[in-house]
Homo-oligomer: A and B are copies of this chain.
Amino acid sequence: MTVVIEQVRPGAYYDSVILMQLQRSLASLPGISDAGVVMGTKANKDVLAQSDLLTPTVQAAHADDLVIVVRGESQQAAAHALDQVDELLSRRRKAESSPGYLPKSLDSALQMAPEARWALVSVPGRYAAGVAREALRLNRNVFLYSDNVSLEDEIVLKRTAAERGLLVMGPDCGTAIVNGTGLGFANRVRRGSIGMVAASGTGLQQISSQIHQLGGGISHALGTGGRDLSAAVGGITAGQALDLLNRDPETHVIVLVSKPPAEEVADDILRLARTSEKPVVIDFIGYLRGSVDNLYFVSTFEEAAALAVELSAATEHTRTAPIPLPAGFAPSQHYLRGLFSGGTLAYEAQLILQDFLPRVYANAPLQDENRLPNAAVSQANTIVDLGADEFTVGRLHPMIDNDLRIRRLRQEAADPATAVILLDVVLGYGAHPDPAAELAPAIAEARRQATDAGRHLEVIAVLVGTDEDPQDLESQRQRLEDAGAWVTTSNTDAVCRAGRIARNLDPAAVPAAQEPGTPVPLETLHEPLVAVNVGLDSFRISLEEQGSRAIQVDWRPPAGGNEQLMAILERMKKK
State the A residues within 8 Å of B (CB).
Answer: 14, 16-17, 19-20, 23-24, 38-39, 41-44, 46-47, 49-51, 63, 66, 124-125, 147-148, 172, 174-175, 182, 184-189, 200-203, 205-206, 209-210, 212-213, 226, 257, 259, 285-286, 288-292, 297-303, 341-345, 347-348, 351-352, 366, 374-377, 389-397, 399-401, 403-404, 407-408, 411, 424, 426-431, 464-470, 489-493, 536, 538-539, 542, 545-546
Contacts and interface: CB of A to CB of B under 8 A. Distances in A.
The 9 A-B pairs of least Cβ separation, nearest first, read: A202-B342, A39-B394, A200-B344, A288-B288, A290-B299, A46-B376, A187-B428, A429-B542, A43-B390
B469 A188 contact: yes
A184 B42 CA distance: 67
Contacts of A42: 390
A388 B326 CA distance: 53
Contacts of A375: 43, 46
Contacts of A66: 394
How many subunits of this chain does the assembly comprise? 2
Given A182-B428, A187-B469, A464-B209, A41 B202 contact: no
A2 B94 CA distance: 107
A374 B206 CA distance: 29
B299 A289 contact: yes
B491 A300 contact: yes
A200 B343 contact: yes
Given A63-B393, A395-B16, A464-B209, A299 B297 contact: yes
Contact of A50 (B226, B376, B391): B376
A301 B393 contact: no
Given A187-B464, A301-B490, 11 more contacts: A38-B395, A43-B393, A46-B377, A50-B407, A175-B428, A184-B430, A202-B424, A205-B426, A205-B465, A210-B489, A288-B288
A202 B426 contact: yes
A20 B391 contact: no
Given A342-B201, A390-B43, A431 B185 contact: yes
Contacts of A186: 428-430
Of A41, A174, A376, A430, most buried by chain B (CB within 10 Å of CB) is A430
A469 B424 CA distance: 53
Of A23, A187, A299, most buried by chain B (CB within 10 Å of CB) is A187
Contact of A393 (B148, B342, B396, B411): B148
A361 to B, nearest CB: 15
Nearest to A257: B344
